[in-house]
Amino acid sequence: MVATPACPVHIVGKRIVDSRGQTVYRDPGYHVVAAQIKCSGRTVWVLFHGGAASSQEAYLGVRSGDGGRTWKLLLSEPYFGIRAPFTIDSYSGPWTIAGQNAAYFVGWCPACGFYGTVSLTVTLDGGRHFHRYRVPKLSGFRGIGIRVVGDDVTITARSQSPTGPRRRTITIEVH
């Protein structure tokens, strides 16, 4: 059994810190309530969550391809004043990475449609380009899980409606 290598950096509040305890990136937002980190080799993705207001979530996504020495701001919800080249949706949901170049983000817009809409935002080239897929079969649901196998992305979602099926799982082929 092969152990998953540890990330070369970790999160301390609003900061990304290297193995020497040095801050290598600081979230420029007002407040961070949670942060998630995912690594593959020397590639590191971090998603900071800063709370919500007006049907939007203050999130910020950054990537390092060199073990945390340099960072690129790639994702944010611009409503909160920090502009990045790409967005996930009004709210970020579950996400994962596959290798050093591919990252997959489930998004949710609670104010869109009848009970909200779900989207999938994907980069296959390390964040140079992102493609957003609408997921109409998950309208009225909110993403709670994501799994990637090859070109197939499986999203598990929970219903936001008081009636009907409670969970739904769909698979999208991405290229």
- Indicate whether 155 and 123 sit together in one domain: yes
Q: In a 3-state reduction of DSSP, which class is residue 165?
A: coil
Q: How far apart are CA 29 and CA 69, in angstroms?
A: 20
Q: What is the pTM of this model?
A: 0.93
CB 103 within 8 A of CB 94: no
Q: Where is the domain boundary, 47, 68, 87?
A: 87
pLDDT tens, position by position, 61-110: 999 999 999 999 999 998 888 999 999 999 999 999 999 999 999 999 99
pLDDT of residue 60: 95
Kindly report the average pLDDT of the chain as a whole number: 93
pLDDT of residue 4 exceeding 70: no
pLDDT of residue 139 exceeding 60: yes
- Indicate whether 43 and 121 sit together in one domain: no
Q: Which two tokens stand for residue 106?
A: 């489930």
pLDDT tens, position by position, 10-68: 999 999 999 999 999 999 988 899 999 999 999 999 999 988 887 889 999 999 999 99
The total of other beta-carbon atoms located within 10 Å of residue 8's CB is: 18
- Indicate whether 25 and 105 sit together in one domain: no
Tally of domains in the chain: 2
* Nearest residue to 121 via CA among 150, 149, 85: 85
Q: How far apart are CA 126 and CA 120, in angstroms?
A: 16
pLDDT of residue 157: 97
Residue numbers of the domain that contains 18: 1-87
CB 103 within 8 A of CB 92: no
